[in-house]
Structure 1
Amino acid sequence: MIYHHLAVLVHRQAEKYGDKVALKYRDYQTAQWIPVSWKQFSDIVRVAANAMVALGVKEGENIGIFSQNKPECLYTDFAAFANRAVTIPLYATSSPAQAQYIINDAQIRFLFVGEQYQYNAAFSIFGFCQSLQQIIIFDRAVVKDPRDVSSIYYDEFLAMGEGLPHNEEVEERTSRASADDLANILYTSGTTGEPKGVMLHHSCYLEALRIHDIRLVDMTDEDVSMNFLPLTHVFEKAWCYLCVHKGVQICINLRPADIQTTIKEVRPTLMCSVPRFWEKVYDGVQEKIAETTGIKKTLMLDAIRVGKIHNIDYLRKGKTPPLMLRLKYKFYEKTIYSLLKKTIGIENGNFFPTAGAAVSDEICEFVHSVGINMLVGYGLTESTATVSCFENEGYEIGSVGTVMPDLEVKIGENNEILLRGKTITKGYYRKPEATAAAIDKDGWFHTGDAGYLKGNQLYLTERIKDLFKTSNGKYISPQALETKLAIDRYIDQIAVIADQRKFVSALIVPVYGYVKEYAKEKGIEYNTMEELLQHPKIVALFRARIDTLQQQFAHYEQVKRFTLLPEPFSMEKGELTNTLKLRRPVVSQNYKEAIDKMYEDN
């Protein structure tokens, strides 16, 4: 396999695939998916690379991309690489203050923005960012501020590169491109403290492509990938580069909330997602089973039982299922499983990488039982995504899969997972102290995650920094409890509280629709959501469900008290990071009163 530098990858693929479709994006006016061929992809990247020279982009310069998922994100990325420039993605949901920090830290002169929100945020901080010279706007529908005299639209930017006036300069820069060049700086939003810019060099991506080729042998240029997670996130970014390398068609989902519509329009064979996506699938099936009766219910339950034996007890272990079991499975495959997959939009599914949070055993078992090949994995921004992932056979439920080829993993003090290899970051941008704290003198990167190895299978136990110590001296892992309780169909979000407290409590954001339905069934009257969530019958419902789910935990680890919240945790209030992880210090601060109340009279 030839590994082309990202500076030339799109052009080499265009030579190979020509008019074959490389990308698709949705036109919201016509609800049509617009195809972009490999040749067009390559041509646009060349024009954009020339336009960057016209703008004055220098080799090694940092360029910002502040947008939701759009084809322009990829055009800009690859055009920058052709110029040996560095791209820095900002989450589309970033606040003006977050954007300001990154622009100033990375000294960004040119910022590419997506839609109105990103433009407004960027323009509002223009005066506070000394390095910032120009905003380039992807979406033509964006209305510019009347005071704005410098911003241009992307089509105007591309016009500067039409006819390739600076191609000699671009070609010369590309010829100097090396694996040692910096490709991206990915700012981790951090559950504590200010963001850190993780430096990923081209060597990190080239190695990631190589080891994924060894692991993901089923991935071919016949596959269609749904780009659902933000391209700002290392998981989706590295995945999309892998798709380009493999010749896989990428369908770009603009708005995360639209995924249930767009996935049915595209019906992809591949899609990276987070466990929450599969939790919702599981909830939907459980709800369907709950409201079904008679023979239909019996068949649904039997289908899951048969699938578990066939896929998990036999195929997972590399064993051939007995004939009767195979026949039964085939029957359910043609009926129940195929209907479920069609309803989701994944009946053409090949495999579905899933990471970003812990996957509960129940969800993992269920998804594999119904014949969906979910590849659970574990990775970090600092490791260019994948550290470990499931293989088609031999995966262990409860693990995060087998360690990737040629990546060194060892367990250090406090059971901390340590990593060493070519995909590991060389450090944090302009933060030598943070780099020295994370990478020891022997080159081992300290992940902050605790776990253990069983052969080559990696298991996570907890996030070391997040371990809570109760005032009785007992250690609690909040994620383990949150992962377990979050599978309940009535629970949308949960924050476990225990640090320096006498016992464990929780703040719970319910699925409001289900709670309202339950109230209707039970004839509970209420005026506000707050009133409903304090009703004894609703509190009792949650108490019973929580107690059932937490049975396997030691008594001191169980949630003793909880508060149901009338509004969800949000990024606006600073309670969630851009990747929707809880910022525990902010949650503790914002809900101090509610938390203190749970510890009264004790």
Structure 2
Amino acid sequence: MEPTRLFDLIPYQIATFDKEIALSKKENGKWKSFSSRDVKEIADNLSLAFLKVGVLPGEKVAIISHNCPEWNFIDLALQQIGAISVPMYPTITSADYEYIFEHAEVKMIFVGDEIIHEKAKAAAGDRLIYSFEKLKGAIFWEDFLAIGVNEDILGLEYAKEQVKASDLFTIIYTSGTTGRPKGVMLTHANVLSNLMAIANIMTPDQGSSRVLSFLPLCHIYERTGFFCFFYIGFSIYYAENMDTIGENMKEVKPHAFNTVPRLLEKIYDKIVAKGYELKGIKKSLFFWALDLGLKYNPNTSAGAWYDFQLKLANKLIFSKWREALGGEVQQINSGASALQPRLARVFWAAGIKVCEGYGLTETSPVVSASICTLEDMRIGYVGKLVADVEVKIASDGEILVKGPNVMQGYYKQPELTAEVLQNGWFHTGDIGQMDGEYLKITDRKKEMFKTSGGKYIAPQVMENKFKESSLIDQLLVVGENRNYTSAVIVPSFEGLKDYCQHKGIPYTSDAEMIEKPEIVDKFNREIEGLNKFFGKWEQIKRFKLLENSWTIESGELTPTMKLKRKIIHQKFAEQIDNLYKD
């Protein structure tokens, strides 16, 4: 029986794979696992508990937690009774919670830990709060589960029969880079169509492979990923937190995982930093291999000599990179923002297949995805359109999408819905082009700007290129309605320390180093070297170095690690203005 609603994946997995480890999490230093049948039993009892306390079809329940099996149990249980989950990021503010609770008309709230509980409590009003940890002032989820244990299963079967594929199962409030979040309404059919399309292009063996999950489940990227992995019988292991990913990789030895470019950049920078620590022949070999990797093109033969060297580099150097990821990775899916082409090159050269895709919350999310074979891979592209999805490019270059994955609209915002959904086509706000079967993204329509000279600037393309410097960690291109382009830059302080050590420059503090004339001069040379890839009107004329990284916690990044341009402009308005003073 093919699933028609997302909770149908539970009996489907039992019938097809009947897994001993369907979900797993680290608890008190040990992995605690749940089988396919455990998932069914827990989800059913939770559904019965929701029915017992009077949750009705169409009512909303908030889930605010870091990734864990309990998150999935609540989600699946709500689906089975026709209720609607409203997942939220653990990192947003109490004010954001209050807005979403009110706007979505949330009835009850599930939280992960004490910190989230405190923020949610301040915004909850008279709503009951349930928690995945034993907390004062919250009802423990297992106590809630117990309410359903002796209830009549026939009542649940009847409730399930009433749920249609076209029913809403979730409202996801997009983090957004500006303004209030919008509630994206998705149905069972939206996400099912998408997970079926991407299941066909997952290369690890169905039923026996492992994945490590660490991107937030409240984001549609990892949520659809979860449903896809569950459908094809992968064992899903949840990383303890973002700081333990490396350690958890070595324990789980995943065959696949989803990630975002920012994390791949950090992995790459960490590897290169270790290369700088090497001495003598080991260091020479490391950078010889790295240089080979940066020249790699999966679609073009570089000749027998290059192939021989690459084979040797894989044995001597790149094998250690693969070991750091657990040693068994066959596919890494990268999405949510643009991947630097050089990272794709070097990882593919190292036998680490990074497959870039493209999508949005409003498209459930996948529009296109790279197929994980040498023949089908195209670096710099976001792959081919997935099954049943259509794309056309508007006259201004905007990507328009049509398909069963496209949302129903924005909750309670018909005017905004009408702006983006026109004649069945969703207007993405992204600029791109089709090259045969392959889609290429060039920028965000709303992020492009004009200089005072009337020239258009596509900042994302430039930012990705400049971040290829080992000295640049983060960068924002500015210059709207100004007479030239500038940038605010967060240096890679690890890279800067390596440079200073190499040049014999004493390193004091980050704040002091970025003011030193010889350091500013080095950054000038880096910028000049990369400016040559752009037209004269695009080139960065001036820049300001900043001492603190932009993070989710400090407010400059979205939860999927994209730049919040408006916030950065506001926070560093004085520094940006100074770039345009004589």
TM-score (normalizing by structure 2): 0.94
- Whether 1:403 and 2:385 are equivalent positions in the alignment is yes
Match of 1:339 in 2: 320
1:68–1:254 contact (8 Å) kept in structure 2: no
Match of 2:344 in 1: 364
Q: Please list the CA deviations of residues 254-298 of structure 1 after superposition, one character each: whole Å capped at 9, or x if unmatched.
A: 312221221222111110001122222332343444455655455
Of stretches 324-333 and 279-288 in structure 1, the one that deviates more from structure 2 is 324-333
RMSD: 2.4
Match of 1:394 in 2: 376
Identity of aligned residues (%): 34
Match of 1:353 in 2: 333
Q: Please list the CA deviations of residues 187-234 of structure 1 after superposition, one character each: whole Å capped at 9, or x if unmatched.
A: 111112211011110011121122123333545111101111000111
Match of 2:140 in 1: 153
Deviation of residue 299 (structure 1)? 4.1
**Matched residue count:** 580
Cα 1:313/1:304, change in 2 over 3 Å: farther
Identify the match of residue 401 of structure 2 among 414, 419, 439.
Answer: 419
Q: Distance in 1 between matches of 2:295 and 2:517?
A: 41
Identify the match of residue 592 of structure 1 among 560, 573, 577.
Answer: 573
Q: Distance in 1 between matches of 2:285 and 2:512?
A: 40
Match of 1:576 in 2: 557
Deviation of residue 565 (structure 1)? 1.2
Q: Please list the CA deviations of residues 383-404 of structure 1 after superposition, one character each: whole Å capped at 9, or x if unmatched.
A: 1111111112222211111111
SS at match of 1:312: coil
Deviation of residue 185 (structure 1)? 0.9
Cα 1:459/1:310, change in 2 over 3 Å: closer
Match of 2:26 in 1: 26
Deviation of residue 326 (structure 1)? 6.5
What amino acid is aligned across from residue 240 of structure 2 in structure 1?
L
2:4–2:189 contact (8 Å) kept in structure 1: no
Match of 2:516 in 1: 535
Deviation of residue 99 (structure 1)? 0.9
Deviation of residue 107 (structure 1)? 0.3
Q: Please list the CA deviations of residues 146-196 of structure 1 after superposition, one character each: whole Å capped at 9, or x if unmatched.
A: xx4xx3111211111123x14222111101221111111111111122110
Match of 2:540 in 1: 559
- Whether 1:474 and 2:468 are equivalent positions in the alignment is no
Q: Please list the CA deviations of residues 90-133 of structure 1 after superposition, one character each: whole Å capped at 9, or x if unmatched.
A: 00101101111111110001110001111000111123xxxx52
- Whether 1:73 and 2:60 are equivalent positions in the alignment is no
Q: Please list the CA deviations of residues 18-37 of structure 1 after superposition, one character each: whole Å capped at 9, or x if unmatched.
A: 4521111011x3x2211211
- Whether 1:44 and 2:31 are equivalent positions in the alignment is no
Q: Distance in 1 between matches of 2:361 and 2:241?
A: 23
SS at match of 1:466: coil
Pairs within 5 Å for 1:224-373: 224-292=210-278, 295-297=281-283, 299-301=285-287, 303=289, 312-313=298-299, 330-342=311-323, 344-373=324-353
Q: Please list the CA deviations of residues 31-85 of structure 1 after superposition, one character each: whole Å capped at 9, or x if unmatched.
A: 2211211111211111111111122211111111011111110000110111111
Deviation of residue 502 (structure 1)? 1.3
- Whether 1:93 and 2:75 are equivalent positions in the alignment is no
Identify the match of residue 459 of structure 1 among 404, 422, 440.
Answer: 440
- Whether 1:3 and 2:3 are equivalent positions in the alignment is yes
Q: Distance in 1 between matches of 2:529 and 2:507?
A: 27
Pairs within 5 Å for 1:121-200: 121-127=119-125, 133-140=127-134, 142=135, 144=136, 148=137, 151-163=138-150, 165-200=151-186
SS at match of 1:272: strand
Q: Distance in 1 between matches of 2:251 and 2:183?
A: 36
Deviation of residue 365 (structure 1)? 0.9
Q: Please list the CA deviations of residues 550-587 of structure 1 after superposition, one character each: whole Å capped at 9, or x if unmatched.
A: 32111221221111112223445543323222222221
SS at match of 1:406: coil
What amino acid is aligned across from residue 185 of structure 1 in structure 2?
I
What amino acid is aligned across from residue 384 of structure 2 in structure 1?
T
What amino acid is aligned across from residue 8 of structure 1 in structure 2?
D
Q: Please list the CA deviations of residues 363-388 of structure 1 after superposition, one character each: whole Å capped at 9, or x if unmatched.
A: 11111111111111111001111111
SS at match of 1:414: coil
Cα 1:516/1:312, change in 2 over 3 Å: closer
SS at match of 1:413: coil
Identify the match of residue 61 of structure 1 among 49, 59, 68.
Answer: 59
Cα 1:322/1:594, change in 2 over 3 Å: closer
Match of 1:318 in 2: none
SS at match of 2:200: helix
- The answer for unaligned runs of 5 or more in structure 1 is 316-320
Match of 1:112 in 2: 110
TM-score (normalizing by structure 1): 0.91
Cα 1:203/1:472, change in 2 over 3 Å: same
1:8–1:174 contact (8 Å) kept in structure 2: no
Q: Distance in 1 between matches of 2:293 and 2:520?
A: 36
Deviation of residue 325 (structure 1)? 7.0
What amino acid is aligned across from residue 134 of structure 1 in structure 2?
L
What amino acid is aligned across from residue 173 of structure 1 in structure 2?
A
Of stretches 293-302 and 570-579 in structure 1, the one that deviates more from structure 2 is 293-302
Q: Distance in 2 between matches of 1:310 and 1:557?
A: 28
